[in-house]
Structure 1
């Protein structure tokens, strides 16, 4: 009898896990790209929506209020392509992240099971450690692409970067290698509890929900949604801080929000946002983030499970044919 969580971690070869993880990330990213752009625009909006006196400090920045009004504003000012800004580095990031994440998750779990042997860790603890480790590794490895995704999504009608190549060249020239890793501390600080909570919750819910008649034929998608909402809400302030730090540098005042303050350090940024914008300032874009997180996680986990199962079945058929 397999324990909760062993299905995801033990099945499939390393190459099958890589392919399934990369495919899941690619497909999920394409469908949620517009919500991702909206979330970033809301997170970078620093002025108070309740105090009209701050409007004099907008410097031409738009005022976004809610998900649908933001989408309409982007469509009106920037066209349909505005909702997919940053999609190229984001697709590269999601493919790489998905492959690295699931591979690391599987590898860490196997290592933990080998290290503890018969003294097995509780499934929830094992999933938390594996999920947190996988998230940290994948975040650090793909962080430059995450930063580029944010900067492209933050561009309005003014072109800060004309292409992916030019953005890499300009950041290297003007900010050096450290420019690609601004806000990494917040990213890792966010992803460790997020992925730990996500995988622990997902593995706990997946098997019980799998016995119910759920959408798409199983409880994978529903478990992914519930796990993502719980984890995302808990660490959202760090996600917002990461976005604010990612647009720091010589191009800070050229994005769609031209009044972004100068931030330095995770904790200083947190205190500054709290002082300037109140506690609500740390949760700008949370609603659309949760709307985004649900379909992203559902599509990712559902696609991963199906692609991995398909690859395993294809391999089994090949072995049967040879025999």
Structure 2
């Protein structure tokens, strides 16, 4: 059963209000804010990468305040241990029993700030949290609250004292959002708006309302030809020559995983709902393709030595793999052909 058109309009109105409240605080980062909302609707985790000072942490905190629910910021450092994140068992001599102390991840929104500063043990402790949305302590499994999302930030220019995320962990993130510097006009607006009395966003949703929107996104219709287009995009990263991209064969070592296919579908559905539609267009898939696919592609050593960027690889795939053509038939809806 698909979401009705009037329900899509109502959902889009709530989501526009959510975006507007976040943008009261965040200036000039519309792409990041929109993709964070898409990730929320798609129940996916986000990796946000950008130089210091471009409002990564502020954006996540503002979104959590607008959506409602519980929020925790975890500052990752090299001396962090897994129990600092997920919790531990504490022995009490007076009762001769162990009590479980749950960690700070038991919230709706987890901000893992500078995740690449934590060692591998701490990063791996997040794998069960992100994939299964649960924590196992002392043989007992503790489910995390719903909705639950991990929003991690990392600094791309640091090389000392950092531990790059392994491929298996990067693949757990639905999207990787690259945050650029704001333009001169936006920089002036930041100066005007934030220098004296910074605005605070108002709450628009609550966890129950967000869950309703997530279920609405699940029911957005995906035509078979759009689904086929998604599969072709992903397959082009694994066998480029078959999709008329032989020049990429020596650049890509490992292509995108099936999680990329599922991520493209869920992110495109969320973007369609954000746009007020109850169906996915090929343009929705193309809009989220770079954010969903680029961090899942592993380049060859030669490509890395030549400074090849996976985002450029995805752009080349999008330019070469043809999308299905959309025929607008007035009175009969939209039919991909």
**TM range, smaller chain:** under 0.3
Higher strand share: 2
Higher helix share: 1
